Amino acid sequence: MGPLIVNGIISDNTNLFLAFLIGIGFGFVLESNGFSSSRRLAGMFYGYDTTVLKVFFTAAIVGATGLLFMSLFGWIDLSYIYINPTYLWSTIGGGVIMGAGFILGGYCPGTSFCAASIGKLDALAFIGGMFIGILIFAEGFPLWEEFYNAKFMGAPLLSEVLGTSRGLLTFLIILVALGMFYLGEWSERKFARSDYQLNQK
């Protein structure tokens, strides 16, 4: 039956209304976990707060296994799920630039809106910068168009590239995630700071 919009079960406007509700859930969960705090987000890269790693990987494995189970139960048709295309150079190049932006700015786009919603002024500054960055990309597009479209590989799954099944790959990712959680817990003890409190349950 899912995705609802692709199968015509809901109208376009209902889809947009549900987008708004899903966004509320997204923003609420981000804020409740402290993704509205740049020092908490940046803490990931200095080891004193690895919340980002824990939330991010837990969400990814819940999402991946959830999709597999929903497909198994016939609740969702995976062939209608959007798969991000791979343009090798721009995927990596864009990621590298975003990584630099993350460590300097302390937010990513989603978390900056979430942080601005509770009054973080540094998040507002980040959003202003983000608009400038997108404008620069749009205005100078002919300059990087070739790089942007280079090395198009279609929309392969990692499991296809590795020659394995979706299920086995998901299982491996869960194992990797468990290892990372262990590393995260260790790191928070090892790099704990006197001027920073985790303040979580």
Partner 1 sequence: MKQKKYMNPYVGGVLLGLVLIIAFWVSGRGLGASGAAKSAIVTGVKTVAPKHVENTAFYQGYLETHPQPMKEWLVFQMLGVIVGGFISGAIAGRLKFKVEKSPKITSKTRLIFAVLGGILFGFGSQLGRGCTSGSALTGMAVLSLSGFLSMAAIFGTAFALAYFARKLWI
Among residues 72, 146, 151, 157, the one that binds partner 1 under rule CB under 8 A: 157
Task: Return the biggest CA–CA distance within the chain.
Answer: 55
Cα dihedral across residues 66, 71, 74, 75: positive or negative: positive
Query: Tokens 């100078």 identify what position?
Result: 140
Q: Please report, as a single letter, which amino acid is at residue 16.
A: L
Q: Which is nearer to partner 1, 72 or 90 (CB)?
A: 90
Interface positions, 181-200, toward partner 1 (CB under 8 A): 181, 193, 195, 198-200
Residue length of the chain: 201
CA distance between the termini of the chain: 37
Which residue, 124, 117, 111, is CA-closest to 44?
Answer: 111
Residues numbered 105 to 134 that lie near partner 1 (CB under 8 A) are 105-123, 125-134
- Nearest approach in angstroms of CB 168 to partner 1 is 11
Residue 175 touches partner 1, criterion: CB under 8 A? no
User: Distance (Å, rounded) from C-alpha 173 to C-alpha 61?
Assistant: 7
Q: How far is the CB of 173 from partner 1 (least distance, A)?
A: 8
Contact call for residues 51 and 180 (beta carbons, < 8 A): no
To partner 1, the closest distance from the beta carbon of 69 in angstroms equals 9
Name residues contacting partner 1, limited to 15-74 (CB under 8 A).
15-34, 36-39, 42-46, 48, 51, 54-64, 66-67, 70
Cβ 193 to partner 1 shortest distance, Å: 7
Q: 11, 72, 151, 158: which one contacts partner 1 (CB under 8 A)?
A: 158
Q: How far is the CB of 189 from partner 1 (least distance, A)?
A: 15
Site size toward partner 1, by CB under 8 A: 135
> Which residues, 74 to 103, sit near partner 1 by CB under 8 A?
75-76, 80-88, 90-103
Which residues on adjacent β-strands are paired with residue 152? Answer: 87
User: How far apart are the C-alpha atoms of 67 and 76, rounded to whole Å?
Assistant: 8
- Tokens at residue 85, please? 């295309």
